[in-house]
Structures are given as structure tokens and as C-alpha cells.
């Protein structure tokens, strides 16, 4: 389990794409980062980010996604792991679409978590019921 920072930057060769980058220390403002977020588990956080934008993946090696900064920042901030946002680009922070997109993803994550909890409870109830049946 590695800790560190995940941040998104515009891809240099594709204007319609963003790249997910990771660093052990917080990147400086010269890196054109839209958002910088600290995670205790970088690999799990990158997996959660990819799960939200998996249908938009362009290049796995470069971690390039066909998304705008708002969508990518929302996906990074809505990750259900413990994290701390250390930098948010002022232009991105002023965009009202960011809060909407982040909240939409958080609602989606809560809904999926409730579905899986319900399936688990139903499975346990089925096991209990089956154990009470006479042989």
C-alpha cells in the first residue's frame, strides 16, 4: 500500500483528454494540475477512478481518458476512500458543474453500495432459512 497524490492534467497530444498522474510529493502549480488529491492507497484510488471513467479510457499505459477536467475532477473527488484535496484549480472550483458532477457520482456510489448490502443481507437470510429447513 503506497500513499501519495493523484492528480489530473490535460494530455499534451489530445486536447479532449485528461491524464491521471501520481506522485509521492505534491506537484507544483507548473504541472497544470486541475486537482491534486492525497490518498493513503494510491493503487486502490486509481482503481476507483478507473471504475468511474472506464468507458472513456483511451490509453492504459498513459492513463489517458476522453473526459473534460470537470468529469475527471468529479471522479477523483467522489472516490469513497479517505482522501484530502490539497489543490483545486480556481477556474475549476468556480465551475458550478463540478459540484453537480461530484454529487451525482457520490449518489451513484451510495446506490451501488446499498444494492450490494441488500444482496448480502438477502443471501444471509436465504442461508438462515435453508439451515432451518428439516432434512
Burial 35-48 (b: 16+ CB within 10 A, else e): bbbbbebbeebbeb
Q: What is the DSSP string of 2-41?
A: --EEEEEEE-SS-TT-EEEEEESSPPPGGG--SEEEEES-
Say if 135 falls within a structural domain.
no
Expressed as residue numbers, the domain containing 35 is 4-103
What are the φ/ψ torsions at residue 3 (nearest 5 degrees)? Answer: -105, 160
Say if 117 falls within a structural domain.
no
- Give the pLDDT of residue 22: 92
3-class SS at 116? Answer: helix
28-85 confidence digits (pLDDT tens): 766 688 899 999 999 999 999 999 999 999 989 889 999 999 999 999 999 999 999 9
Unique residue bearing C-alpha cell 486537482? 35
Say if 129 falls within a structural domain.
no
Say if 132 falls within a structural domain.
no
Say if 95 falls within a structural domain.
yes
Would you say the pTM of this structure is higher than 0.75? yes
Count of structural domains within the chain: 1
Say if 62 falls within a structural domain.
yes
Amino acid at each position: 500500500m503506497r500513499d501519495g497524490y493523484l492528480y489530473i492534467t490535460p494530455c499534451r497530444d489530445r486536447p479532449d483528454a485528461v491524464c491521471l498522474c501520481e506522485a509521492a510529493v505534491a506537484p507544483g502549480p507548473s504541472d497544470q494540475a486541475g486537482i491534486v488529491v492525497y490518498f493513503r492507497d494510491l493503487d486502490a484510488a486509481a482503481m476507483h477512478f478507473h471504475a468511474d471513467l472506464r468507458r472513456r479510457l483511451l490509453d492504459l499505459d498513459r492513463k489517458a481518458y476522453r473526459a473534460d477536467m470537470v468529469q475527471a475532477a468529479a471522479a477523483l473527488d467522489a472516490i469513497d476512500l479517505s482522501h484530502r484535496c490539497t489543490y483545486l484549480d480556481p477556474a475549476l472550483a468556480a465551475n458550478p458543474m463540478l459540484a453537480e458532477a461530484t454529487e451525482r457520482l457520490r449518489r451513484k456510489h451510495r446506490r451501488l453500495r446499498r444494492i450490494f448490502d441488500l444482496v448480502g443481507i438477502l443471501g444471509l437470510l436465504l442461508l438462515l432459512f435453508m439451515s432451518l429447513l428439516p432434512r
